[in-house]
A = this chain, B = another copy of it.
Amino acid sequence: MSDMTSPADAPRPPGRPRSVRADEAIVEATLDLLADGSTIEAISIEAIAARAGVGKATIYRRWPGKEALLRDALRRLKGTPPEPAGHSVRDDLILLVGAVGHHIDPRAARIMPCLVPEVNRSPEQYQLYQNIIEPRREMMREVLRRGVRRGELRADLDVEVVMAMLTGPMLVQRVMRWHPDLDEPTLPQRIVDGVLDGIRAH
């Protein structure tokens, strides 16, 4: 086992467990490689181990395989999901729309847009992507369903279309820099009010 003497494992500050430091180094190496242009198909446990300065066995002790490691690494880009308060449909939607396309890690800007055509090429990779985003989508769906139950939203609501109407504008602005002059801090509120009230003159 070469990883007993590998750089990431070697100089250990007192009181900090070795496993946490190796975990960090492995996740960081994965994100660095993706940000440098590695595709999720081409990225290998070997390359991640080399970049992290650990042995392959160190990775396999922590993750069953590449998919599980990629899922953890990609989740890291987004940070902790927001928690809707559950009082006002409008407030909850503004909170959730504000988190769409938002990443706490700047490497996301290089990783996420190119990930999309790639995951669409294989069912396994599409599933990996879905596993990351589905829990967040489900939170938004639940807010919409609650609005319908309470009579605040139209009973004939097409939840998936409305999800796309709320998510799409934010995603194209944040991921594609859709329009340079759109004010991002107020955009979630303007999208939610636009979708709630419509644009027709009354």
Of residues 164 through 202 on chain A, the ones whose CB sits less than 8 Å from some CB of chain B are 164-165, 167-173, 175-179, 181-182, 187, 190-191, 194-202
Q: Place the interface of chain A in its size category.
A: 35 or more
Contact check: which of B153, B170, B200 meets A199 at CB < 8 Å? B153
Q: Do B152 and A161 touch (CB < 8 A)?
A: no
A164–B152 touching, CB < 8 Å: no
Total copies of the chain:
2
Task: Pick from A25-33, A71-79, A109-117 the stretch touching chain B.
Answer: A109-117
A161 surroundings in chain B (CB, below 8 A): 169, 182, 187, 190-191, 194
Q: How far is the CA of A194 from the CA of B197 in the complex (A)?
A: 9
Nearest chain B CB to A78's CB is how many angstroms away?
16
Complex contact B113–A109 (CB within 8 A): no
**Is B116's CB under 8 angstroms from A175's CB?**
yes
Across the interface, do A152 and B201 meet the contact criterion of CB distance under 8 Å?
Answer: yes
Q: Are A153 and B114 in contact (CB under 8 A)?
A: no
CA distance in complex: A158, B114 (Å): 31
Are A179 and B200 in contact, with the CB atoms below 8 A?
A: no
CA gap between A158 and B62 in the complex, in Å:
50
Instruction: Out of B117, B154, B187, B199, name the residue touching A110 (CB < 8 Å).
Output: B117
Q: Which of B110, B160, B169, B181 contacts A182 (CB 8 A)?
A: B160
* A120-B109 contact given A164-B179, A195-B195, A196-B198, CB 8 Å threshold: yes
Chain B residue nearest to A119 in the complex (CB): B177
Binding site for B on A (CB under 8 A): 109-110, 113-114, 116-117, 120, 126, 151-155, 157-158, 160-165, 167-173, 175-179, 181-182, 187, 190-191, 194-202
| 10 cross-chain CB contacts under 8 A | A116-B176, A153-B200, A154-B199, A154-B202, A164-B168, A165-B165, A168-B172, A168-B178, A196-B198, A198-B200
